[in-house]
């Protein structure tokens, strides 16, 4: 729904949650997908060059401007411009950005001739912009201009059910073509599942790449994971490496993961089973059978209570 609109969109979330990935997905599913997607990290631009980078400049507009250059707005004409870390823009650049968004045209440095641009603006930040507004560091009028639609990305620690899916994705992406992806030992899985991932998905990606390099394509163990990750594990390493460390049969572990994932899907669709089956890529009959099996498990185990929507009715 967001992709089909041209409304300015704000993507918020902690560092490493994948804000640029989501911005690219919005662009690729929009009517602008055949036009440029241009990303600019506002926090990486020198303060005296922000306007030149965004809006362009003429030759000789400032010291070092040896030739004319189109800015990022012009480069993204017809497509999407991602203003990453938009909270880091200096106030002077914020004022000019607001004017550009209001008028739909830019004035390159060194000229008073406006240049029309057709750009969909997507902004991203890990900052709390309302707090920066109160501190006088961000313009309130610009905030409302770029935040027509807000997409909040959750931290990885709030979505533990995504961990196996993401790990398998990174294993497949990093494995050379034609080679099997390495497996992960139960002890390494225990470390990964207990870690809070303050760096979110980006940290997980780096950890898997680190482990694959050290494992040489063989099974990934705790010794292959980053030491900082293993050192904060609440379970002693000696217990993680022990075969007696509460390791259940794989079938039981997979069954419990499937149960948790079905719950998540049902919550997302507010109990609408047809929609749930569509999201999961299974038939309604298969979904019904899985829900029935969970109901039978509940009947056999008094201590296990199914959540709403998990019954067979």
Contacts 24+ apart (CB under 8 A), 98-104: 98/139, 98/141, 98/142, 98/145, 100/55, 100/73, 101/8, 101/142, 101/145, 101/146, 102/145
Same domain, residue pair 125 and 30: yes
pLDDT at 311: 42
**151: helix, coil or strand?**
strand
Report the pLDDT averaged over residues 238-264: 64
Instruction: Report percent pLDDT > 90 for the chain.
Output: 51
Same domain, residue pair 176 and 87: no
Same domain, residue pair 116 and 235: no
Same domain, residue pair 203 and 295: no
pLDDT at 7: 96
Inside any domain, residue 280:
yes
Inside any domain, residue 278:
yes
Inside any domain, residue 84:
yes
Contact 208, 23 (CB under 8 A): no
Q: Of 136, 153, 170, at which residue does a domain stop?
A: 153
Same domain, residue pair 91 and 61: yes
Inside any domain, residue 51:
yes
Structure tokens at 157: 């620690």
Same domain, residue pair 47 and 135: yes
37: which strand partners? Answer: 80
Q: Of 153, 174, 194, at which residue does a domain stop?
A: 153
Contacts 24+ apart (CB under 8 A), 224-232: 224/188, 225/188, 225/191, 225/192, 229/191, 229/192, 229/195, 230/191, 232/195, 232/196
Structure tokens at 244: 């007696």
Q: Given strand 149-152, what is the order of strands in its sheet?
A: 37-41, 80-84, 120-125, 9-12, 149-152
Report the pLDDT averaged over residues 237-255: 59
pLDDT at 308: 43
Q: How confident is the model at residue 305 (pLDDT cuts 50, 70, 90)?
A: very low
- Between CA 90 and CA 169 the distance in angstroms is 38
pLDDT at 56: 79
Inside any domain, residue 197:
yes
Same domain, residue pair 232 and 143: no
Inside any domain, residue 50:
yes
Read off the CATH number of the domain in which 174 is found.
1.10.8.60
Name the residue among 119, 125, 30 with its Cα closest to residue 87.
125
pLDDT at 303: 41
Structure tokens at 187: 């002890």
Report the pLDDT averaged over residues 126-131: 96
Residue 309 has pLDDT above 50, yes or no: no
**Average model confidence (pLDDT) across the chain:** 84
Same domain, residue pair 107 and 192: no
Residue 77 has pLDDT above 70, yes or no: yes
Same domain, residue pair 22 and 143: yes
Low-confidence winner among 62-76, 107-121, 185-199, 294-308 (lowest mean pLDDT):
294-308
Contact 116, 73 (CB under 8 A): no
Same domain, residue pair 186 and 86: no
Inside any domain, residue 14:
yes
Query: What residue numbers bound the domain in which 188 lies?
Result: 157-241
Single pTM value for the model:
0.71
Q: How confident is the model at residue 250 (pLDDT cuts 50, 70, 90)?
A: low
Same domain, residue pair 167 and 129: no
- Between CA 68 and CA 187 the distance in angstroms is 58
Inside any domain, residue 100:
yes
User: Which residues are CB-neighbours of 160 under 8 A, at least 6 positions away?
Assistant: 193
Higher pLDDT, 284 or 205: 205
DSSP code per residue over 156-202: GGG-GGGHHHHHHHHHHHHSPTTSPPPPB-HHHHHHHHH---TTHHH
Domain count, the chain: 3
Residue 117 has pLDDT above 80, yes or no: yes
Read off the CATH number of the domain in which 292 is found.
1.10.10
Q: Of 109, 129, 153, at which residue does a domain stop?
A: 153
Structure tokens at 162: 């995504």
The pLDDT tens digits of the residues spanning 142-189 come to: 999 999 999 999 999 998 888 888 999 999 999 999 888 899 888 888
- Between CA 123 and CA 225 the distance in angstroms is 34
**212: helix, coil or strand?**
helix
Same domain, residue pair 268 and 227: no
Low-confidence winner among 14-18, 116-120, 245-249, 293-297 (lowest mean pLDDT):
245-249
């Amino acid at each position: 729904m967001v992709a089909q609109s041209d409304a300015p969109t704000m993507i918020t979330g902690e560092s490493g949650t994948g804000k640029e990935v989501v911005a690219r997905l919005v662009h690729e599913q929009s009517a602008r997908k055949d036009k440029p997607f241009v990303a600019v990290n506002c926090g990486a631009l020198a303060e005296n060059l922000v306007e030149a980078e965004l809006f362009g400049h003429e030759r000789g507009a400032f010291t070092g401007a040896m030739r004319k250059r189109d800015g990022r707005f012009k480069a993204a004409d017809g497509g999407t411009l991602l203003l990453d870390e938009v909270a880091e823009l200096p106030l002077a650049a914020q004022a000019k950005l607001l004017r550009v968004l209001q008028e739909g045209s830019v004035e390159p440095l060194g000229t008073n001739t406006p240049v029309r641009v057709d750009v969909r603006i997507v902004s991203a930040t890990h900052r709390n912009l309302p707090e920066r507004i109160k501190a006088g560091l961000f313009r309130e009028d610009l905030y409302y201009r770029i935040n027509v639609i807000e997409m909040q990305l959750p931290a990885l620690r709030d979505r533990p059910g995504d961990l196996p899916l993401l790990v398998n994705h990174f294993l497949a992406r990093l494995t050379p073509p034609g080679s099997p992806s390495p497996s992960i030992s139960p002890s390494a899985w225990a470390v990964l599942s207990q870690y809070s991932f303050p760096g979110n998905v980006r940290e997980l990606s780096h950890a898997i790449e680190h482990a694959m390099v050290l494992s040489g394509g063989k099974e990934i163990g705790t010794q292959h994971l980053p030491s900082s990750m293993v050192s904060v594990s609440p379970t002693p390493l000696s217990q993680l490496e022990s075969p007696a460390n509460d390791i259940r049969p794989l079938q039981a572990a997979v069954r419990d993961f499937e149960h948790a994932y079905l719950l998540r899907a049902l919550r997302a669709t507010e109990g609408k089973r047809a929609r749930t089956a569509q999201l999961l890529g299974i038939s309604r009959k298969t979904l019904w059978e899985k829900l029935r099996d969970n109901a039978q498990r509940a009947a056999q185990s008094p201590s296990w209570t199914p959540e709403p929507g998990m019954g067979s009715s």
